[in-house]
Amino acid sequence: MKIALGEKTLKEIREEPATIRNTFQSQATRIKEISTELGQRKPNRVFLVGSGTSYHAGVFGAYVLNALGEILAIPVQASEFEAYVANAVNPHDVVIALSQSGESTDTLKALRVAKKRGALVVGVTNMPGSTIVLESHHSIVTVAGVEESVVATKTFQAQLAVMALLAAELCRELGSLGAERVAEIRHLFEEVATMISENLDAWDKQTKKIAMRLKPSRDVFVLGFGEGFALALEAGLKLKEASLTHSEAFSIAEFKHGPISLVTRGVAVIVIAPSVEEKVEIAERLILELKQKRATVITIIEQGKRLAQGKVDFEISIPRIDALLAPMLQIVPIQLLAYNLALVRSVNPDSPRHLTKVVR
């Protein structure tokens, strides 16, 4: 039987609207209950730990907690938790351990250290019955269904949804967010799921074209601010592992502090448009500089808006939605670009070389 390259990856990206709906329907009550308990503890800090894609969902989680509340939220790579954070963890802290499989060794280690130091641990996984579920004080199980492709797509989407809802509920418990705003956020998940379904084919078609153009590119940089930075990190990883393309992520402003010197003709730069008005000008100035250096520039931007008066090579447009959940839309064309770039490079994104689904 002939295997179509990337069959599983594409199927799983297509399952994202259902993943959002199912996760929301089955976990919303639980997330509220957990938030109530976390809120009663009046935590000082939240650490979000994970590896790879799950770490990036943690970066997004820290962003939403910071955007909605007044609690210190710090994302930490699970493998560095012991070296950088563990000794400071105390019983007033909450540790959120993110892991699709619920079995990654580094995340489990971090979870165990955090528990030993008295922190309250919340596990977020896609695997009921996994070790992280068993060992966490509370767990939230996303409902993405089994993810067969080695490259995580729909489970990342589910983690983003959980992070946004958990942050909103927790910030309400802690008094920094009104009930009305939380209700508003709850309603957005259905809207996001519908928008993904409606735009998926168009994004697939457009990213196929972009992939053809990027085929010869040696390096791809992905840049974002705030929530866009979390997505840029994930985009950098997706492009590397799915399409074996060298790609790196930076904050838009940080890119000027050195990495820009690598930009020449043939280098591609993806800019996720900032949602904060004051940052737009910084992005625009950078884009003009990138174009002077003859880079191929791709923007991911809200419908009807433009960066640098459209002086870019491709604009991927995203329907207008509350900025807080825009990353749940933006990530889909990014995943499709990684998938389509893999196909034009004859790489199978379902099972990239040297990678396994669970790192033990």
Is residue 32 a contact partner of residue 40, using CB atoms and an 8 Å limit? Answer: no
Q: Shortest approach of ligand F6R to residue 90 CB, angstroms? A: 25
Should residue 54 be labelled a site residue for ligand F6R when binding is judged by CB under 6 A?
A: yes
Rule CB under 6 A: choose which of 27, 35, 99, 142 binds ligand F6R: 99
Should residue 348 be labelled a site residue for ligand F6R when binding is judged by CB under 6 A?
A: no
Q: Please list the helix, strand and coil fractions of the chain in percent, rounded to the nearest 5, in that order.
A: 55, 15, 30
Should residue 52 be labelled a site residue for ligand F6R when binding is judged by CB under 6 A?
A: yes
Q: Which two tokens stand for residue 317?
A: 């447009």
Segment near ligand F6R (CB under 6 A); pick from 52-60, 69-77, 203-211, 323-331? 52-60
- Angle of CA points 254, 84, 78, to nearest 5°: 85
- Closer Cβ to ligand F6R, 104 or 330, answer by number: 104
Should residue 104 be labelled a site residue for ligand F6R when binding is judged by CB under 6 A?
A: yes
Should residue 131 be labelled a site residue for ligand F6R when binding is judged by CB under 6 A?
A: no
Contact code string over 150-169 relative to ligand F6R, x by CB under 6 A = -xx-----------------
- Closer Cβ to ligand F6R, 104 or 275, answer by number: 104
Query: Concatenated DSSP letters for 133-189?
Result: HHHSSEEEE-------SSS-SHHHHHHHHHHHHHHHHHHHHTTSS-HHHHHHHHHHH
Should residue 53 be labelled a site residue for ligand F6R when binding is judged by CB under 6 A?
A: yes
- Angle of CA points 163, 339, 315, to nearest 5°: 80
- Beta-sheet strands, E only, within the chain: 45-50, 72-77, 93-99, 120-125, 138-141, 219-224, 246-251, 268-272, 296-302, 314-318
Rule CB under 6 A: choose which of 9, 23, 35, 101 binds ligand F6R: 101
Q: Shortest approach of ligand F6R to residue 127 CB, angstroms? A: 8
Contacts with ligand F6R by CB under 6 A lie at 51-54, 99-101, 104, 107, 151-152, 237, 241, 358-359
